[in-house]
Structure 1
Amino acid sequence: MPNEAVCCPEYVVGSLADQVLEWNEKVFVKDRVRCLFHIPLNFSAVMKRSGRPLIDAGLWQNQMLVLSDEKSNWYSDVYIELEEDEGVETPPLHAKASRAKFSGKFVTKECEGPYQKAHVWAKDFRDELEAKGIQVNRILFNYRTCPKCAKKYGKNWIVLFAEVE
């Protein structure tokens, strides 16, 4: 297994832990992933059609931030960070993609374990914040590695982004 290719950079534990982020019109490319009971069916295809052009244009300078808003058992909206850079033209978006902007306060929490626990962690995080009197609008998921890389690293990190008031 040590010679296996890795497509996802190893997550630096603590780099997104317990942060409060204030975003003012942070730009993302929004696309949709088909799911079967929250299991993504075409995530790679969506990343190729919406993410790859951004990488090729040099609009991801750091490790990309991809957020998933798991709205139903059947689909998730995926938000791919767009690091706009003056002088670099944003490539045309795929017909199924659009621009989205996030403004507001987001609180993060790191979790490690199997993907199946993500919704349990989200519920616990929501309960924890609401017990402190913090209103949670929604929780977005940031899966730090693909399943193959999680297996290679021996850890599966997921960062929760709670949009709060």
Structure 2
Amino acid sequence: MEAVKQECCPKFHPEKWNEKTFNWNHKKFIKATVPTFFHIPLPPMIGKRITKMMKLAEDSKKLSNNKEDILVLFTDPHAFMSEIYLSVTDTVANANNTTLSGTFMSKVFDGAYKDIPKFIKQMDAYLQMRKVKAQRYYVHYAYCPKCAKEVGNNYMVLFAQLKK
């Protein structure tokens, strides 16, 4: 496969995120929601929402200068809504600002979006070996669908927020 040649998604380095532990103390994000139908979002809606979030963060100059450090996390609190979190460096005007705190363990997977339940089971087994349990899961997709097709990998990072 040839290298990613677009400016859309930065090159992903799995080793930076695979089997790592992060302690976040009020890590800053802006948050949005998208409706889903049994956990399946409408793709155009996700793109529009992320584009709007990125524009707010860029206009306020609150995105990390290192594009590889920017996280877009997804979580599904129930079957009919997904939450999207975009990491930022500080409070963003006109955005839904929030923070995440706690210990998060991450693991990288490569596969289809429909395989997330299988990846969560693998992550649960990984956590069980370390004698910890997930309170909640967040997923970071390394590439948009177009870039994933271009590079030949659909990497995703599962972040398990650990139970206290």
Q: State the TM-score, normalizing by the size of structure 1.
A: 0.85
- Once residues 148 and 38 of structure 2 are traced to their aligned partners in structure 1, the CA distance between those partners, rounded to angstroms, is 21
- Once residues 76 and 19 of structure 1 are traced to their aligned partners in structure 2, the CA distance between those partners, rounded to angstroms, is 25
- Once residues 22 and 54 of structure 2 are traced to their aligned partners in structure 1, the CA distance between those partners, rounded to angstroms, is 23
Q: What residue is the counterpart of 1:9 in the other structure? A: 10
Partner SS state of residue 36, structure 2: strand
Mapped pair 1:53 → 2:56: yes
Mapped pair 1:65 → 2:71: yes
- 1:121-144 deviations in Å (ceiling 9; x for gaps): 012212331343212101110011
Displacement, 1:5? 4.4
- Gaps of at least 5 residues in structure 1 are none
Kindly report which structure 2 residues correspond to 1:92-111, keeping only aligned pairs within 5 A, or say none.
92-93=94-95, 98-111=96-109
Partner SS state of residue 71, structure 1: strand
Displacement, 1:6? 5.1
Mapped pair 1:135 → 2:139: no
- Once residues 131 and 109 of structure 1 are traced to their aligned partners in structure 2, the CA distance between those partners, rounded to angstroms, is 14
Mapped pair 1:76 → 2:79: no
- Once residues 92 and 138 of structure 2 are traced to their aligned partners in structure 1, the CA distance between those partners, rounded to angstroms, is 25
- 1:92-137 deviations in Å (ceiling 9; x for gaps): 22xxxx2211111000000011111112101221233134321210
Kindly report which structure 2 residues correspond to 1:24-43, keeping only aligned pairs within 5 A, or say none.
24-41=25-42, 42-43=45-46
Q: Runs in 1 of length 4+ with deviation above 4 angstroms?
A: 1-6
Kindly report which structure 2 residues correspond to 1:140-151, keeping only aligned pairs within 5 A, or say none.
140-151=138-149
Contact map agreement 2:23 2:102 (CA 8 A) in 1: yes
Task: State the one-letter code of the partner of 2:23.
Answer: E
| Structure 1 stretch displaced more, 151-160 or 126-135 | 126-135
- Once residues 126 and 77 of structure 1 are traced to their aligned partners in structure 2, the CA distance between those partners, rounded to angstroms, is 21
Displacement, 1:27? 1.0
Q: What residue is the counterpart of 2:160 in the other structure? A: 162
Contact map agreement 2:21 2:106 (CA 8 A) in 1: yes
Q: State the TM-score, normalizing by the size of structure 2.
A: 0.85
Q: What residue is the counterpart of 2:92 in the other structure? A: 90
- Once residues 149 and 104 of structure 2 are traced to their aligned partners in structure 1, the CA distance between those partners, rounded to angstroms, is 29
Displacement, 1:74? 2.1
Contact map agreement 1:118 1:158 (CA 8 A) in 2: no
Displacement, 1:80? 0.7
- Give the count of matched residue pairs: 157
- Once residues 75 and 134 of structure 2 are traced to their aligned partners in structure 1, the CA distance between those partners, rounded to angstroms, is 14
